[in-house]
Structure 1
Amino acid sequence: MKNKYLFFAFFIALSPFCNNAVSAKQKVVALLYSPDNRTRAQFSLDEQGQLYYRLIFNTRLIVNWSRLGIETTGSSLVQGITLKGSAKKEINEKFLWPLGEDASLVNHCNELTLHCTSGIGNYDIIVRVYDGSLAFRYVCKQLGDSIVQLKSELTEFNLATSYRIYQYHEESVFRPVMVDSLPGTSDLPSTLTAAQSYISIGEADNRNYTKCVLVHGSRPNSLSLQFYTDTIYRDHRVQSVRKDSLIRFTDSLITPWRTISCSSTAIGLHAFSQLNLKLVKPLSNEVPDYVKPGKVFRVPINTQGALDGIDFAQKMNFQYILVDAGWYGAEFRTTSDPTRYLPDFHLPDIIAHARQKGIGVILYVNYVGLKAKIDTILPLYKKWGVSGLKFGFVDGGTQKGLAWLDSAVKKVNDYGMVLNVHDHYKPTGLSRRYPYVLSQEGIRGDENSPDAFHNTVLPFTRYLAGPADFTFCYPNRVNDYSKNIRVSKAQQMALTIVYFDPLQAIFWYGRSQDYRDEADIEFFKYVPTVWDESKYVQGEIGEGITVARRKGRTWYLGSAAGLQKWGGSFKLDFLEKNQVYTATVYGDDGQGGIQVKKVELRHNDAFVVDLDAKGGQAVIIRPQIK
């Protein structure tokens, strides 16, 4: 292909919804329904050859005609688009996923491919409609050998009514604001609410594009996409802004999937928490049961402390220890060498002791060291017997950073090491492609002292993208971690059920010697990190939540309250019929401690949750052995 068709801008737009009709200047060219026929995406072209779409869920218009486009330095395909043809197919597959919230996932949707042309430029728009979700991406595989630079993505989401958005940026607090009053940006996924309407706008399969965020659009109740900006604040004022402005492609350009998921309830959004996995094509169809998830204990950077931490991890039925920043020197210095451990931190003895105790060792490496020595440290760490890595302070925003990260993640995956990517990087479903990527941060966890409101917003927002490393603190007799924990002890416990993370760090700031014979920490010996079945039972954003998860025949219930008293009653209809269970209930005792009690439960019993503000409850429901 010659340079003059170096690409395009692509519009999907949703315009005013009046008796389900398009304007006289538009012609409907395609319609796609979900398998249950309750979600509908409709496409049209106007006289200028611009392509539009709109989204309807349960007979309710969600997004009006709006545009989506990509503007480049090459030939523009904004206008003059004609439809050469289209193809529809049904996707209905089930695949095992032992690293998730459910042991198996059903990927059932209808797919539409629109074959578009504008002059001599050709491209496809791939659309999938799930029950409750719309996903679309743009595919151009004829760019040629010359470089095409992306200037902007013109995507808009013109909402059909007034919505409130739970705005956040990377590891910030959440700020509920009306879309029309949105200042600055909001990260993906973003959750929006209106009367009996809940929307999550997200993305999937972002490997080498750029991080996009939502900003206020050009119309009322409108949002559009903006490329990543790194904003530095000082005294609450913008000091500087760094934009990702050098986004380049050759040969082909495939955008991430843009997703819009809809529900009539807050807890219904959980149905889409694994949508990203369904939109990413795996490198292998092999079930990743060779990857070992587990709980992690962070050890101090001294030899004896690490050895003691290994013994504690074994006692607590943890699977890994984490050797965090500092084991090879100051992490941001180019003179610090991640192939060499500090003289007073004897890593070979630590790894040998861990192997003897059946505990894996995860090593932290900062982005500075990773960029310089990723190809050196991987075979070296494999030789040492290291089980995994934690990446620190990676660039999860720019195209350059994301492309590097994709290649680095694949290398770690190929070496068979588990991986946790820290700081502002968030998942887009790539664990399906690289199953050793068990966790990532991209969340305001206990390191940043979140409050109960934040804790009860997260399940309906950030966790819809996938797992997150919350770095749980948990009080003991020596340290109550009051600087980090602003909720009750039982809520801290319950959140290990509510929040999903296959590689979950539990006692983040804790020392092994400080946890002595507390009856409540017995809970952490049993709580899994991956599940066979998961349900959001009850809840509302920022008010409270109850999550039920099953591993084998044992159920776990986690409940957390926001800043006000919260609770509710529900039927235990997910328990087996004709089976008696013993429930161990861990709740707040009203004096800063944990009260443990046991009760008998059966199928369809009513279960009552009654929590004080900032409180919580964790329950293990085990079948009685006859």
Structure 2
Amino acid sequence: MSKMFLGLKSWKVLVFICLLSWGPLSAQKMYSIASPGGSTLLTIGAPDGKPGYQLSFRGKKITGWSVLDISVDGVSLSGAKIMRFDKPVLHQESFASPLGEQDSLHSIYQQARLHLKATAGLSVTIDFRVMDSSVAFRYSVAMAGAAQHALREFTTFSFPGSPLIYQYNQESVFTPTRVDTLGATTDLPVTVESDGTYCQIGEAVNLTYTKAELGRGTDGNTLAVIFPHDTAVLFQRNLATPWRTVSVAGSAIALAHCRSLNIKLAAPPVPGDWSWIRPGKLIRAQLNTQSGLDCIDFAVKHHFQYIMFDAGWYGAEFRTTSDPCRVIPAIDLPEVIAYGKKRNIGVILYVNYIGLKAKLDSILPLYKRWGVAGLKFGFVDGLTQSGLTWLSQAIQKVQQYGFVLNIHDNYKPTGLSRTYPALLTQEGIRGNENSPDAFHNTTLPFTRYLAGAADFTYCFPNPKNSFSKHIKVSKAQQLALSVIYYSPLQAIFWYGQPNDYTNDGEIAFYDEVPATWSESHYLAGDIGKGVAVVRRKGDTWYLGCAAGLQDWQTILDLSFLRPGISYTVTVYEDDGNQSVRKKTMRLNSMDRLPVKLFAKAGQVFIFKPGSHE
């Protein structure tokens, strides 16, 4: 008995010593949050003395222990004490998405909260949402008094081995890079391949934060949040950081499930009637009255909704002497706007950040009196806390005045188009202005477009201009991208004058393709190799296929079609002679559709229901 007692006593002493050596948090519990369907498990705790997490998907470890940490005024969560853990609660939400990739969105998740208290009285809560295949978390801080505080973030994403990421910044090309060789930062969202699994690390609901990016962490397996454009985020009293998200899939094409995650994490709009917001397609006008009138006629003929006057309509955009309240003499803007109203075509005006910062509060009521339909912001500051805070306020003001909005250059979506539906689209992408190749075109659906809508500023050849400087893929791929890519405001003809487009047969597809959708599915593809996306509007389906720099082929299951219905299918494809060939066929939901594309080529299909079979 005495030996047993001594052994038990020794064991208790050993445990006590281990708890002391692990530090304040290590002696505390680990907490697990499982997704509603059980496929995704998030474990949180502090095995190394700092709060951290580990993510598993279908029983496979996706991340190793990764850091959950911020600091406020130099005080971090290292050594913090867990005060309370609010157990997971199931939440379900459904809401209409009339400007999205499908009519409605459904969100089901387990939500939990961790309450932490660090030294110097710092209290932090971390909210977690765990969905099937995705997790999201964010930090919240509450400080007493009106003093200004500085927050830094040290969140990491650690993987079992050195993952492959598709590195890019703003409007750059994509560079597939192993994290252990990463010498630059990468934008969010970033797509990651790790041990046969695909992940997307993203950010949602950035209203007043800085633009965070990811860099190489302390080892070659880890990505860490960094602030390249601000040393810290400044705040008073309260701050909730953007959501950090990780989505997981067994294949690149399956990763498309996360493309609405940012929207689901954002707050709903204030109650009201948003039916005035009109999505659509546009053509850019040259800087004169006649071009504006011609573009309106072109828009009517081809079922577009808008024209746009871009940079220069009020003078040189970067000059402080150029006034966005005054139109250059070459444009009779009242005449163009009146003609557009008569033909139900809206006029969108571009304003550079210099003009916006100086005169936003003046131009909004002025443009309302003029009858302008929307604004495009240019060369904004989507990088710093001050720039993003200004933009969040500007988006609200534009919406309050009843304009649709497109934000260009380095601004990226984080789900705010749910909160502010008038924000139809943004750039933050390498579009046709920057001459992307087929690898880039077929990488975007698996990377940047998973964050939300993007204005690709398409161009298309006409008999007078091939636009070879900008277009590096076939004509049919250009058509297909308008289905593969999502944007409620599509700039279809960014280059070229309307009267030069006498090739009606080639551009007829643009007459029909919508800008918003009732339903969408990513059917097949792999990053940079090829992709097939199908979308429905009403009873009509649109299928876009594109190849990367090599030939690409697949066989598509058509079970998305209504059973028992025969569909008349119109096909637009490359004819092998630098033009587009049109043909028709009949297909139904039982058929399988082979797709064989040459490198840089594309194919697009319109399925219209016919008779019952």
Classify the TM-score, shorter chain: over 0.9
SS of 1:447's partner is helix
Q: More deviation in 525-534 or 246-255?
A: 246-255
Q: Do the aligned partners of residues 346 and 156 (structure 1) sit closer, same or farther apart at CA in structure 2, a change above 3 Å counting? A: same
2:235 maps to 1:249? yes
Alpha-carbon displacement from aligned partner over 1:227-258 (angstroms, at most 9, x marks no partner) = 13xxxxxxxxxxxxxx3225310011110000
Q: Provide the rounded CA distance (Å) in 2 between the counterparts of 1:107 and 1:313.
A: 37
2:332 maps to 1:346? yes
SS of 1:304's partner is helix
Look up the match of 2:561: 575
Q: Provide the rounded CA distance (Å) in 1 between the counterparts of 2:143 and 2:524.
A: 49
* CA positional deviation for 1:27: 4.0
Q: Percent identity?
A: 50
Look up the match of 1:136: 137
2:373 pairs with one of 371, 380, 387:
387
Gap regions ≥5 residues in structure 2: 1-21
Query: Who wins on radius of gyration, i.e. which is larger?
Result: 2
RMSD: 1.6
Alpha-carbon displacement from aligned partner over 1:558-588 (angstroms, at most 9, x marks no partner) = 0000000001112200111111110000000
Q: Provide the rounded CA distance (Å) in 2 between the counterparts of 1:340 and 1:563.
A: 47
Look up the match of 1:235: none
Look up the match of 1:52: 52
Look up the match of 2:426: 440
Structure 1 residues 66-81: aligned runs within 5 Å: 66-73=66-73, 75-81=75-81
The one-letter amino acid paired with 2:601 is G
Q: Provide the rounded CA distance (Å) in 1 between the counterparts of 2:575 and 2:269.
A: 49
Question: Is the 2:568–2:609 contact (alpha carbons within 8 Å) kept by the matching residues of 1?
Answer: yes
Look up the match of 1:408: 394
The one-letter amino acid paired with 1:616 is G
SS of 1:274's partner is helix
The one-letter amino acid paired with 1:245 is T
Question: Is the 1:323–1:361 contact (alpha carbons within 8 Å) kept by the matching residues of 2?
Answer: yes
Question: Is the 1:216–1:223 contact (alpha carbons within 8 Å) kept by the matching residues of 2?
Answer: yes
2:444 pairs with one of 458, 465, 482:
458
2:527 maps to 1:541? yes
1:528 pairs with one of 514, 522, 532:
514
Q: Provide the rounded CA distance (Å) in 2 between the counterparts of 1:131 and 1:77.
A: 29
Gap regions ≥5 residues in structure 1: 1-21, 229-242
Q: Provide the rounded CA distance (Å) in 2 between the counterparts of 1:375 and 1:80.
A: 45
Q: Provide the rounded CA distance (Å) in 2 between the counterparts of 1:74 and 1:196.
A: 39
* CA positional deviation for 1:46: 4.7
* CA positional deviation for 1:87: 3.9
Alpha-carbon displacement from aligned partner over 1:534-569 (angstroms, at most 9, x marks no partner) = 000000000000000000010000000000000111
Look up the match of 1:11: none
Q: Provide the rounded CA distance (Å) in 1 between the counterparts of 2:395 and 2:299.
A: 27
Alpha-carbon displacement from aligned partner over 1:194-241 (angstroms, at most 9, x marks no partner) = 34310100000001110011101002311101113xxxxxxxxxxxxx
Look up the match of 2:498: 512
Alpha-carbon displacement from aligned partner over 1:73-115 (angstroms, at most 9, x marks no partner) = 2544432322234243211011000111111000111100112
TM-score (norm: length of structure 2) = 0.94
* CA positional deviation for 1:140: 1.2
Look up the match of 1:168: 168
The one-letter amino acid paired with 1:324 is D
Look up the match of 1:564: 550
Question: Is the 2:28–2:82 contact (alpha carbons within 8 Å) kept by the matching residues of 1?
Answer: no
Q: Provide the rounded CA distance (Å) in 2 between the counterparts of 1:536 and 1:288.
A: 29
2:407 pairs with one of 421, 432, 445:
421
Alpha-carbon displacement from aligned partner over 1:9-32 (angstroms, at most 9, x marks no partner) = xxxxxxxxxxxxx99955433210
Question: Is the 1:96–1:287 contact (alpha carbons within 8 Å) kept by the matching residues of 2?
Answer: no
The one-letter amino acid paired with 1:185 is T
Question: Is the 1:267–1:537 contact (alpha carbons within 8 Å) kept by the matching residues of 2?
Answer: yes
Question: Is the 2:161–2:195 contact (alpha carbons within 8 Å) kept by the matching residues of 1?
Answer: no
Question: Is the 1:324–1:363 contact (alpha carbons within 8 Å) kept by the matching residues of 2?
Answer: yes
Question: Is the 1:98–1:530 contact (alpha carbons within 8 Å) kept by the matching residues of 2?
Answer: yes
Look up the match of 1:449: 435
Q: Provide the rounded CA distance (Å) in 1 between the counterparts of 2:269 and 2:78.
A: 33
How many equivalent pairs are there? 589
Q: Provide the rounded CA distance (Å) in 2 between the counterparts of 1:546 and 1:348.
A: 43
TM-score (norm: length of structure 1) = 0.92
1:467 pairs with one of 443, 453, 465:
453
The one-letter amino acid paired with 1:148 is H
* CA positional deviation for 1:289: 3.7
1:269 pairs with one of 233, 252, 255:
255
Structure 1 residues 216-295: aligned runs within 5 Å: 216-228=216-228, 243-245=229-231, 247-286=233-272, 288-295=274-281
Question: Is the 1:360–1:387 contact (alpha carbons within 8 Å) kept by the matching residues of 2?
Answer: yes
Question: Is the 1:27–1:46 contact (alpha carbons within 8 Å) kept by the matching residues of 2?
Answer: no
SS of 2:550's partner is coil
Q: Provide the rounded CA distance (Å) in 1 between the counterparts of 2:471 and 2:86.
A: 54
Structure 1 residues 259-338: aligned runs within 5 Å: 259-286=245-272, 288-338=274-324
Look up the match of 1:43: 44
* CA positional deviation for 1:397: 0.4
SS of 1:248's partner is strand
Look up the match of 1:555: 541
The one-letter amino acid paired with 1:108 is I
Q: More deviation in 419-428 or 28-37?
A: 28-37
SS of 1:624's partner is strand
SS of 1:537's partner is strand
Question: Is the 1:74–1:148 contact (alpha carbons within 8 Å) kept by the matching residues of 2?
Answer: no
Q: More deviation in 367-376 or 138-147?
A: 138-147
SS of 1:459's partner is helix
2:469 pairs with one of 476, 483, 495:
483
Question: Is the 1:270–1:464 contact (alpha carbons within 8 Å) kept by the matching residues of 2?
Answer: yes
Q: Provide the rounded CA distance (Å) in 2 between the counterparts of 1:600 and 1:445.
A: 34
Question: Is the 1:98–1:288 contact (alpha carbons within 8 Å) kept by the matching residues of 2?
Answer: no
Question: Is the 1:28–1:42 contact (alpha carbons within 8 Å) kept by the matching residues of 2?
Answer: no
Q: Provide the rounded CA distance (Å) in 2 between the counterparts of 1:43 and 1:287.
A: 42
2:360 pairs with one of 369, 374, 378:
374
Q: Provide the rounded CA distance (Å) in 2 between the counterparts of 1:539 and 1:143.
A: 52
Look up the match of 1:97: 97
Q: Provide the rounded CA distance (Å) in 2 between the counterparts of 1:478 and 1:625.
A: 42
Q: More deviation in 327-336 or 135-144?
A: 135-144
SS of 1:63's partner is coil
SS of 2:143's partner is strand
Look up the match of 1:115: 115
The one-letter amino acid paired with 1:101 is E
The one-letter amino acid paired with 1:121 is L
Q: Provide the rounded CA distance (Å) in 2 between the counterparts of 1:362 and 1:613.
A: 36
Look up the match of 1:200: 200
Look up the match of 2:608: 622
Q: Provide the rounded CA distance (Å) in 2 between the counterparts of 1:47 and 1:440.
A: 41
